[in-house]
Chain A
């Protein structure tokens, strides 16, 4: 599903150049649930941004579902994001003046899905995350865990190939973190590919594979025995 070869990325900070990713080789198959771990500054978010086409790579190659991702203009990148990827952010990033249902329906709007169908689909995904009765509520009427579940429903609504989650539990307490992880595991059980950035070991243990990044290189890539989150809920 994801193929990365010899990926380099550096940022210019004035006259200095900051080499963040120094040759990453990495691939993800369909149906995997991968945790990308590392301390801050290790380059894990940069890697996720490149995977999410929010940032461009300097060197190397990136292939997503057989499509080479290289030198995309903004319009093309937007279309690929819409078609291939779903995003979950640490700070949820829901649009605060839209109800839960409208937030979930937003990626479908950019897929040019009609209004009626959009709403039906949005409701369906809200039901999956257990928030159907909260459909008409605005984000500020929801708890943190609920917001993140709405965000996950939104990411899933576009039926992406890969779900990218940047510290999805970073702003949540342990109990709601496990609830969210339970949801992510269930989505993975349905066969969806998920990449998840975290620095919490217990969250990483709930994935099927852990990739450790340090100073821009992968130092460890191992399959783990998945801990089911449902036992903590």
Chain B
């Protein structure tokens, strides 16, 4: 292996490569293109992955909603079509019986799903908006970004059933003058005055609530509307490692048994499993990453085979040169090493240039999509992946170089020098 560290060897290789420019460029393009595609694809896939992550970071990924509907089967003496109602007691039951549940936030709401929005007035301005009665724990499931100086509902608000309200960004724009601070001011919701304690920002990416929603403590809501223990729907977040589909099934089974519903009745309780959807989207991103890996590696492979191919042809073309070298005293191993090193050297150059071009494309793409409304952020290729690709290329380059090298050695100098 001493020849590897001999500058003379590399000068000879470099001379042979740099003085046959056309051959070199044609040879290099295959691998260059391969690694370029690899870097660009896997970077883009990573960018999409990051984009999804960024879009979903405001909500708990493993979350679902459960609400009550009408039964579709008679059971236990009840006739079919019975209207179901979730109660606060269900929250406790579910929390106790399903350990996979991390947070559970009951909510009662008006202005969604066909009910009339609440007429809200401030001074001369007014509008109709969705009103939610919430528990403070709701922010664990869906992060609320509150503008400076404000806050979300807290436990004390709940305990004292305070008449405080968090309004949406759009409500602020519609009911307040520009530059006016809503925190501390009062709005009339229905017939009751509430003090504004915060303005929530419209979240970038995925959000459960629009910017025209208002939030008041659950306890205040039930007093105001006399809704008792009724719950509109449940927002549930399972632990990250839980199987959300199973948790959803368990929840429904327990609700059916406590509400005396036929276990086979699929209509009594509705649900939307966000975790399952997220899983599908993230699976799509993972699949994309995997596919870019496969396509990239395959392209690199094709490129390296291309190098081998062209070197094989060039060995034929260089038969005479190699014969002369042999006649002048090049040993078979020296000839072999030269061809292999040419292969490796070309592969390396192509690899490095391809990586640089690919990185250039990614940074261009990054700048281009920075402010675009598109789930795409920070496209990167991890250094180990790049080094891994380079290593694979060098190994493949060596292996593929063996074929033309062996061919070069098998030609006898006397045959190489013989006049055609």
A-side interface residues toward B, CB under 8 Å?
Answer: 49, 52, 54-55, 74-75, 78-79, 81-83, 87, 89-91, 93-98, 102, 106-107, 109-112, 114-115, 154, 158
Contacts and interface: CB of A to CB of B under 8 A. Distances in A.
Contact of B334 (A49, A90, A102, A110): A110
B318 to A, nearest CB: 9
B411 to A, nearest CB: 11
Interface band, chain B: 20 to 34
Given A106-B325, A115-B11, A93 B331 contact: no
A95 B321 contact: yes
A81 B324 contact: no
Contacts of A112: 8
Interface string B399-410: 000000000010
Contact of A107 (B16, B323, B329, B334): B329
A154 B328 CA distance: 9
Contact of B19 (A49, A82, A97): A97
Interface stretch (B187-195, B197-205, B412-420): B412-420
Given A74-B332, A95-B321, A81 B327 contact: yes
Given A91-B419, A98-B15, A110-B325, 6 more contacts: A74-B409, A78-B326, A78-B329, A82-B328, A95-B321, A154-B328
A74 B331 CA distance: 7
B258 interface: no
A94 B11 CA distance: 19
Given A49-B414, A90-B419, A97 B329 contact: no
Contacts, number: 72
B210 interface: no
A74 B409 CA distance: 10
B320 A78 contact: no
B12 interface: yes
Which residue, of A52, A78, A79, A93, has the highest number of chain B Cβ atoms within 10 A? A78
B327 A102 contact: no
A55 B414 contact: yes
B15 A87 contact: no
A94 B324 CA distance: 8
B20 interface: yes
Given A78-B326, A102-B15, A115-B11, A93 B332 contact: no
Interface string B325-369: 111111111100000000000000000000000000000000000
A96 B321 CA distance: 8
A212 to B, nearest CB: 23
Contact of A93 (B8, B15, B20, B324): B324
Given A54-B417, A91-B419, A82 B329 contact: yes
Given A79-B329, A83-B329, A114 B8 contact: yes
Nearest to A164: B327
A90 B328 CA distance: 15
Which residue, of B12, B331, B409, B412, has the highest number of chain A Cβ atoms within 10 A? B331
B416 to A, nearest CB: 9
